[in-house]
Structure 1
Amino acid sequence: MTAFVHPDEIRSRFSAALSAMYRAEVPQYGELLTLVADINARTLKADPTTADRLAASGELGRLSQERHGAIRVGTADELATIARAFAVMGMVPVSYYNLAPAGVPVHSTAFRPVDPAALARNPFRVFCSLLRLELIEDESLRQEAAAALARRDIFTPEARVLIETAETDGGLDADQADRFVSELLETFRWHAEATVSAETYERLVAAHRLIADVVSFKGPHINHLTPRTMDIDAAQAAMPERGIVPKETIEGPPARACPILLRQTSFKALQEAVAFPSQDGGAVSGVHTARFGEIEQRGCALTPTGRALYDAALATKDFSALPDDWTALRRDGLAWFRYRPTPQGLAARAETTDLAALIGLGHVVAEPITYEDFLPVSAAGIFQSNLGAEARGAAYAVDPARSDFELALGRSVLDEMALYQAEQDASVAATLKALGLTTAAA
């Protein structure tokens, strides 16, 4: 019987290989990793309570290896095939993000593991955007872009074979897994040779810099790979000391004692040398700006009620409606929590089924569930600041095309809220079972 490599292991190998490749391509990324590691070590040393909580919940072990990447694909076939490739690594599409109203002509999903145990092993995730060609107003340019995309294949022949092998056989053996990682890495590699002329490239840039980035090259080069920091404000302040120029503001919620959702910053996108093909068979030198370095700080996932308060706060810039206190966030049903029994609770065998009472007795602890997903407004802000693109909400303010996206994807995206609800519910059930109880009070 064939011994298959676990999808979590393939994901870990690919994440490590991608990080090594990106570090070689973008040296500042290496400096960013060093900065984040230094800040994390300093923050955890200064706050042993948080360090102990992260260790108890399994979060501490994943902190140093945590990354999220981002790519942009151009066609339905590219999106569907990348989804199949990520499935080999135990990653599925979660949530639909329509960035067009924010002036970015794409819609997106996040490929990631969803099982809590798989997230603890390696939470690697990729924010994947599909170009919306229909938003290119110039019909001739739209046709040129479609033709350029139709001419390329972003996957190596062996990568396609190995994806199909994994689907047919139910997995990959050790040799196949190694080759899969190596071959899929080529899809994410930077290519300095453009596939369109300099003139076409400039017309694409005029339409939108992101359109030019998607259409003009051999593949969807990884445009950022993001480590997770415990203190993004410290990281933002320290970046200039390391010779890194950060964007002006941190995207996401303000700094809080009880972090929520996602905060992101980045260094400015690089200007990279590019060779454009010329009519005489030669090349024309130029530059392209797209790839950048990003840092993120992840907080607690909010419930639909909490998220509605956050979204309303974005408009008013007043976040006082969201309590900055774990007990209040839990009591008011604003954030998701993972529950577990304490040794004291297991010994006491308490009779009450009221979770709040059990927590008060010290029989149960509630730990905030980390937000594993993304904020569309923040994503658009990062894209715009690094592509030099002004917001064009009026031009792209069209109805979300979720059904079109899912048709291209080949499946429905999962609901992030349902995943957090399931994780919280499972932890409650397991906790009450361990305490010899069967139901929880409302």
Structure 2
Amino acid sequence: MAAEHANPDKIRALFSRAMSVMYREEVPAYGTLMELVHDVNAEVLLASPAERERLEGLGELERIDEERHGAIRLGTPRELFTMRGLFAVMGMHPVGYYDLSVAGVPVHSTAFRPLDDAALRRNPFRVFTSLLRLDLLDDADLRDAAAEVLDRREIFTPGCLELIHKAEADGGLSEADAERFVAEAVETFRWHAEANVPHALYRRLHDAHRLVADVVAFKGPHINHLTPRTLDIDRVQEMMPDRDISPKAVVEGPPTRTVPILLRQTSFKALEEPVNFPADDSGEAGTTTGRHTARFGEIEQRGIALTPSGQALYDRLLAETRSLITPAADGSNADAYRATLAEVFSAFPDDLETLRKDGLGYFRYSATGQPCKDPSCGLDALIAQGCLRADPIVYEDFLPVSAAGIFQSNLGDGAAQAFVANPNRARFEEDLGAPVHDLFFRYAETEARSLAEARIELSRSHQTA
């Protein structure tokens, strides 16, 4: 009899915790950041028993302490294709297509994450995964040199590849194989202080774009940040200097609101780390020591998922803000940017009922247990009667301009280059070996299912009353 397969949710939880331990060892400031986020979350819940009760009722309180997202940058389609298989072992699937060339970063991306509510509640680990676009670089000789370096490297251990193939063939892994898989898979994301290229080539890559150097010049896609979820990002931003952490100048995403929407992110500034570069062909012996800036710590606050109409309004208001002022990485115009952002976004409704009635956000519906006069009447009437409640659905995904803003704030203003917006979802999905899931469909499906289940419960209660 075949051994029972380990639950992918359990494998994902093991992997997430192993990554957190590894990153805490590699970047001690991440541990300080985790303590700060824990303290702020505890403050928020203590000050708002109603919010604690709401999160407990929705099954979301326990997931907050477990919640993490990471980010990696891959160099080749082959790496992306295999990475899809690695994440599939853990029940993580590609959701959304993000073109970061619109914000001056030569990558396009997806987010690997769980799909269904139950899996997200158990462990909502996500990895924002970017693929380098050498085609956006103007220097043909540099493109060829970078491609040659990337073609030679193997970022997965033999054991990891073996277990990915075994999981695909058998439909899963045993408990013992799952533990071995986590140990092997973590190695792909580990930091290596030894570069793949001589220092002269690193400088050329760096001058083309700092992110290009980060992808091409190293043995693997070291995790460049892990991100805990906070319930008050403004408080975390304010308190970071008290813990000897230097925050980026502004929080990315929407402004401070009564009802949080989408995703807000901030980070501490990237570490400058020593790197050993191999000798080049000049005949010099030994290695060259240099420095590289890439890895940082990030914090996120998640709000309600927006419908296509809500997302279009967000995009329009953000574009309007950025046409008036763009935040400088050095923070010199931070106050002016925050003020402009808040003023422009005053056009975005800031109460749950308006967001719901105007079709701007997604909601999860549930029966309250209160008697209902007519369970077949309209949605608004059911809510008005108090027999149906609407809770915001948490946004589980990412924002391309915010992601680029985090990258750029840690790479410096010079990292933002004038790439022409060049989305190519078809090419990305071809390299991935699968279509990406449509994030709007996922939220709409969750909303529709919750409403249907709530109506059934209301009907049953009405018939037995």
Q: Same fold (TM over 0.5)?
A: yes
2:393: which partner in 1?
A: 369
1:308: which partner in 2?
A: 312
2:369: which partner in 1?
A: 343
1:288: which partner in 2?
A: 292
Judge conservation of contact 2:258–2:350 (CA < 8 Å) in 1.
yes
Once the two structures are superposed, the pairs formed by residues 142-291 of structure 1 within 5 Å of their partners are 142-279=143-280, 280=284, 282-291=286-295
Counterpart Cα distance in 2 of 1:99 and 1:397 = 10
Structure 2 portions without partners, runs of 5+: 322-343
**Does residue 431 of structure 2 align to residue 408 of structure 1?**
yes
2:446: which partner in 1?
A: 423
Once the two structures are superposed, the pairs formed by residues 323-338 of structure 1 within 5 Å of their partners are 323-338=349-364
Judge conservation of contact 1:309–1:321 (CA < 8 Å) in 2.
no
Task: Note the C-alpha offset of 1:437.
Answer: 7.2
For 1:55, give the aligned amino acid: E
For 2:316, give the aligned amino acid: A
Counterpart Cα distance in 1 of 2:86 and 2:452 = 34
Counterpart Cα distance in 1 of 2:49 and 2:211 = 43
Change in CA separation of 1:338 and 1:34 when aligned onto 2, cut-off 3 Å: same
Residue-by-residue CA offset, 1:295-323 (whole Å, 9 max, x unaligned): 00000001111111111111333112221
**Does residue 118 of structure 2 align to residue 120 of structure 1?**
no
SS in 1 for 2:275: strand
Counterpart Cα distance in 1 of 2:157 and 2:271 = 27
Higher mean C-alpha deviation, range 244-253 or range 358-367: 358-367
Task: Note the C-alpha offset of 1:402.
Answer: 1.1
For 1:330, give the aligned amino acid: R
Counterpart Cα distance in 1 of 2:133 and 2:460 = 52
For 2:349, give the aligned amino acid: P
2:404: which partner in 1?
A: 380
Residue-by-residue CA offset, 1:219-245 (whole Å, 9 max, x unaligned): 000000000000000000000000000
Counterpart Cα distance in 2 of 1:54 and 1:113 = 20
Counterpart Cα distance in 2 of 1:351 and 1:427 = 15
Counterpart Cα distance in 1 of 2:403 and 2:130 = 11
1:320: which partner in 2?
A: 346
Judge conservation of contact 1:209–1:389 (CA < 8 Å) in 2.
no
Equivalent residues, number: 435
Judge conservation of contact 2:210–2:415 (CA < 8 Å) in 1.
no
Judge conservation of contact 1:349–1:436 (CA < 8 Å) in 2.
no
Counterpart Cα distance in 2 of 1:306 and 1:25 = 39
Counterpart Cα distance in 2 of 1:44 and 1:398 = 42
Normalised TM-score (structure 1): 0.96
Judge conservation of contact 1:246–1:266 (CA < 8 Å) in 2.
yes
Judge conservation of contact 1:353–1:437 (CA < 8 Å) in 2.
no
Task: Note the C-alpha offset of 1:389.
Answer: 4.2
2:335: which partner in 1?
A: none
For 2:399, give the aligned amino acid: L
Residue-by-residue CA offset, 1:347-388 (whole Å, 9 max, x unaligned): x57434312111111111111000000011101100011011
Counterpart Cα distance in 2 of 1:390 and 1:228 = 29
SS in 2 for 1:436: helix
2:3: which partner in 1?
A: 2
Residue-by-residue CA offset, 1:253-282 (whole Å, 9 max, x unaligned): 000111000000000000001000014552
Structure 1 portions without partners, runs of 5+: none
Counterpart Cα distance in 2 of 1:264 and 1:214 = 23
SS in 2 for 1:140: helix
Change in CA separation of 1:154 and 1:270 when aligned onto 2, cut-off 3 Å: same
Counterpart Cα distance in 1 of 2:316 and 2:460 = 39
Normalised TM-score (structure 2): 0.92
For 2:306, give the aligned amino acid: L
SS in 2 for 1:230: coil
2:380: which partner in 1?
A: 356
Task: Note the C-alpha offset of 1:61.
Answer: 1.0
Higher mean C-alpha deviation, range 277-286 or range 241-250: 277-286
Counterpart Cα distance in 1 of 2:460 and 2:310 = 29
Cα RMSD after superposing both structures: 1.3
Counterpart Cα distance in 2 of 1:380 and 1:199 = 27
Residue-by-residue CA offset, 1:66-85 (whole Å, 9 max, x unaligned): 00000000000000000110
Higher mean C-alpha deviation, range 396-405 or range 242-251: 396-405
Judge conservation of contact 1:353–1:432 (CA < 8 Å) in 2.
no
Task: Note the C-alpha offset of 1:2.
Answer: 1.7
Change in CA separation of 1:101 and 1:149 when aligned onto 2, cut-off 3 Å: same
For 1:422, give the aligned amino acid: E
SS in 1 for 2:298: strand
Change in CA separation of 1:2 and 1:313 when aligned onto 2, cut-off 3 Å: same
For 1:356, give the aligned amino acid: D
SS in 1 for 2:346: coil
